[in-house]
Structure 1
Amino acid sequence: MMITASNGFIEQSERYAFNNAGESLKKYILLKKGELAYNHGASKLRPYGSCFALTTAENARIPFVYHCFSAENQNAEFMSIELNGAEIENQLRKIVSSGARMDGLLNISFDEYTSVSVLLPGTEEQDCIADFFRQLDDLITLHQREPT
C-alpha cells in the first residue's frame, strides 16, 4: 500500500499498473491496523507531508520511507485528522529547513516529526470527532457516486 495526500492509504495498483514491491519486501514496513504513517513527501495539497491511520485493513506493507508510529491510548483516526491540520503544518514549516530534495521527500527526521505538539481532547471526544468525520467522508463518497 501507499499513502496519497488526498485519499490516505491506497493499494499501489490503484496508482500504478503493477505492484512496485516486486520480489523485495525488505524495503517495506509491516503496519498494523490503528498505526499511523507519515508520508514526508511534498505535494500540492499537503506541502509538508501527510499522515494517515491504517483503518481499512488488519495490516499493510508500506514503503520504508514513511515514518510509522502508534498512537497509544489515543484514537488513531483523530490523530491523523490533527496531524494533517493547519497548526501542525505551521510547526512543520519551521522544522523543515531546506525544502524538498530532488526526490520530493522533505528533509525531516522521525525525531523532528514527533517533536510537534498536538493538543488532544479526551479519548471519548476523540472518538466522537473521528466518527463524525468518517460519516462525513462516507456521505461525500456517496454523493460523488450519484449520476450527474
Structure 2
Amino acid sequence: MGSIVKEVTRTDETLDAPVMMITANDGFINQSERYSTDNAGQSLKKYILLHKGELAYNHGASKLRPYGSCFALTTEENARIPFVYHCFSTDTENPEFLSRVLNGKTIKGQLRKIVSSGARMDGLLNISYEEYTSISVVMPEKAEQDIISEFFRGLDNLITLHQRKYKLAKKCKQFFLGNSVSSLK
C-alpha cells in the first residue's frame, strides 16, 4: 500500500476545523458526540488536519474491528483528528473504496500477523505507520472503484434512512401508548 499513499502530518494552526474522531461503527464523528467535555486540551495543537478525501487509521482495537478502523473523511471539508491516528492521502485511488478494502477480511489477516505480539493491554495496537502501509492491497481500476463506492454510499444512505424511520416509529408508538394510557384514567 505504501506505493499508493502519502502520509499526512499537517496541523491546523488556526484551530478552525471541527474536532473529530473515528468510531469502528460510524467512521468519523464529532468528538462532542462521544464526550461532553473537550478531552484534547493543549494537545489540540498537535491534532492532524485532514482534508476531505484523506484517510485515517485508528489503531485502537474494538469488538467490531479488533485490528483497528480506517475511514476516509467524507462529511467535512477539513477536520482535526487525534495525532495518534495514522493519516494518509492517495492521488491514484478512490479513498472511500480504499477504506472499505482496508476494513476488509483480507487485510485483517495481514494486520493480525503484524500486531500479534504487539497488542497493549489498553486496546491500542502497537503498529507503526510504516508497518500499516506495508500491507498488500489489490485494487481494481479507478473507474470500477468509483462505481463500487457509489453503490455502497447509496446502501449506507438507505440504511441510515431506515434507521431514522425506525427510531421515529418507536417514538410515535411510545407517544400514542403514553397518551392512550393517560386518557383511560
Q: Which category describes the TM-score, using the shorter chain as reference length?
A: over 0.9
Q: 2:75 aligns with which of 50, 56, 72?
A: 56
Match of 1:104 in 2: 123
Match of 1:47 in 2: 66
CA contact (8 A) 1:71 1:79 kept: no
Q: CA RMSD in A?
A: 1.1
Q: CA deviation at 1:99?
A: 4.4
Give the count of matched residue pairs. 148
Q: CA deviation at 1:23?
A: 4.3
Match of 1:34 in 2: 53
Moved over 3 A (4+): none
The one-letter code matched in structure 2 to 1:43 is S
Q: Which shifted more, 22-31 or 37-46?
A: 22-31
TM-score (norm 2): 0.77
Q: CA deviation at 1:97?
A: 3.1
CA contact (8 A) 1:43 1:49 kept: yes
Matched, 1:73 2:92: yes
Unaligned runs of 5+ in 1: none
Q: Which shifted more, 81-90 or 94-103?
A: 94-103
Q: CA deviation at 1:54?
A: 0.4
Q: 2:35 aligns with which of 13, 16, 22?
A: 16
CA contact (8 A) 1:2 1:10 kept: yes
Q: 2:103 aligns with which of 66, 84, 100?
A: 84
Give the whole-Å Cα distance in 1 for the aligned partners of 2:95 and 2:114: 23
Q: CA deviation at 1:141?
A: 0.5
Larger of the two Rg values belongs to structure: 2
CA contact (8 A) 1:8 1:52 kept: yes
Unaligned runs of 5+ in 2: 1-19, 171-185
Match of 1:145 in 2: 164
Q: Which shifted more, 99-108 or 136-145?
A: 99-108
